[in-house]
Amino acid sequence: MNDVLKNIHDRRAVRKYKNMTVPTEIIDILLDAGRMAPSAMNRQPWKFYILTDPKKIHAYSKEIAGIAVKEIKHIGIREAAKLTLSFFHLSTMMSFLKNDDHIFYGVPVVIFITSAIADEWGALDVGMCAQNIMLAAKAMGLDSCPVGFAKYVTQTRDYYQLNISDAEQVQLAVVVGFGDESPKLHERITDNVVYI
Ligand SMILES: Cc1cc2nc3c(=O)[nH]c(=O)nc-3n(C[C@H](O)[C@H](O)[C@H](O)COP(=O)(O)O)c2cc1C
């Protein structure tokens, strides 16, 4: 298998990290990889908001966890199960429940990615951008996890500190750091192809 394919196959959502900072030069390389993603009509709609202060990361994480729990209670058990399962593979729920930091997993770097609310392709473009960042991280010996729960950051007391404008929508966060676990592969569904 060539290096690119191996990287794609080896990437995992990692939820345990070493207490090691990531140099700014590496973060810049990851962002450049993100910027190389394709985007509808080449609009490159992504904007990156980066947290590296451990105290701030922990504070946002704690508050988002509280908001997520309230949200889950509010929408009822059936919808909550759907929401939770849309973010998690079932078996990862256990590590979610065990971890002290349920949202950002004690990472040294959180990258919130936004796109313009008015951009109908924003979510898709940001998804491609995020995947580039995660594969670049893997290629550089780092690990990552996409965090959909990060969208609740908009409801936190300190959201204003991120300076995200009202015209933007937080689509996702990608958390990055030096992984301290090697999650096993979640088998992929393969009976989802129709050759015509
Ligand atoms: C849009 C999206 C949102 C996700 N949100 C979360 C999240 O909030 N928390 C989390 O721990 N994992 C989250 N994940 C990671 C998935 O649970 C993970 O990718 C999936 O279980 C497959 O595992 P793998 O990435 O190791 O192959 C998210 C993934 C995607 C694509």
Task: Determine the pLDDT at residue 2.
Answer: 96
Residue nearest to atom 23 of ligand 1 (CA): 13
Residue nearest to atom 19 of ligand 1 (CA): 13
What is the Å distance from ligand 1's center to 94 Cα?
Answer: 14
Does the C-beta of 112 come closer than 6 Å to ligand 1? Answer: no
CB of 14 within 8 A of CB of 181? yes
Task: Report the alpha-carbon distance of residue 80 to residue 72 in Å, rounded.
Answer: 5
SS3 33: helix
- What is the residue type of 145? C
Q: What is the pTM of this model?
A: 0.91
Q: Which atom of ligand 1 is nearest to the CA of 12?
A: 26
pLDDT digits (tens, 9 = 90+) for 4-56: 999 999 999 999 999 999 999 999 999 999 999 999 999 999 999 999 999 99
Task: Determine the pLDDT at residue 101.
Answer: 82
Does the C-beta of 146 come closer than 6 Å to ligand 1? Answer: yes
What is the Å distance from ligand 1's center to 146 Cα?
Answer: 5
- What is the residue type of 17? Y
Task: Determine the pLDDT at residue 72.
Answer: 77
pLDDT digits (tens, 9 = 90+) for 97-133: 555 788 999 999 999 999 999 999 999 999 999 999 9
Mean pLDDT, the chain, integer = 92
Task: Report the alpha-carbon distance of residue 45 to residue 37 in Å, rounded.
Answer: 11
Does the C-beta of 130 come closer than 6 Å to ligand 1? Answer: no
Task: Determine the pLDDT at residue 74.
Answer: 76
Res 90 pLDDT > 80: no
What is the Å distance from ligand 1's center to 15 Cα?
Answer: 10
Domains detected in the chain: 3-177 (3.40.109.10)
Q: Which two tokens stand for residue 168?
A: 């933007």
Task: Determine the pLDDT at residue 96.
Answer: 54
Task: Determine the pLDDT at residue 171.
Answer: 98
